[in-house]
Amino acid sequence: QQAGGDQRPMIEDYVGKGEDAPEFLPYGLTLQHKHVPELRAYAKLSHDPIMQPAVGNFAQGMITVVPLQLRGLDRVPTGAELHAAIADHYASIDGGVVEVAPYTHMERIAEIDPEIYNGTNRMKVYVFANDERAQALLMAVYDNLGKGASGAAVQNLDLMLGIKH
């Protein structure tokens, strides 16, 4: 397991439990994760986003879930419209490192594997939504350690700016 800064003692404790460690351990439950300010700044948000990280029984790979309250928008998109916008955006970027999963309505999904893209630069994005509640979840699966933090940051900037890889 690798972790930066504040998480290192928690990771060491988690790994030290061996087989007694839970499969999934949420943390940051006070909603004050150290990366919230930078997420807010780079996403140009007027309010802090919700970030609730977790560790699992794997050394590398990550699932990031972003909850969205859509009712604050001038025009509330449906889940299908949100999915189409995200799929169109990533389809327009050369390099094909981001795959957007087909949009389906489901209560749960069993095939999301945090380790599936380990050792690659690829990422898969899922969109889940409840149109009646005007809420959505974006979920991304990627290798959080394969390129290192600086390489991932550069790739994220390239994606945001539409720069070829």
**11-43: pLDDT as tens digits:** 777 778 878 777 777 888 888 888 889 888 888
User: Would you state the torsion angle of the CA atoms of residues 156, 158, 160, 163, taken in this order, to the nearest 10 degrees?
Assistant: -160
CATH number for the domain formed by residue range(s) 62-165: 3.30.360.10
Whole-angstrom CA distances from 57 to 14, 94, 137, 144 are 9, 34, 23, 15
Q: Is the pLDDT of residue 81 over 90?
A: yes
C-beta atoms surrounding 70 within 10 Å = 19
Q: Give CATH 3.30.360.10 domain extents, the chain.
A: 62-165
Q: pTM of the entire structure?
A: 0.74
| Percentage with pLDDT > 70 across the chain | 88
Question: Mean pLDDT, to the nearest integer, of 47-60?
Answer: 82
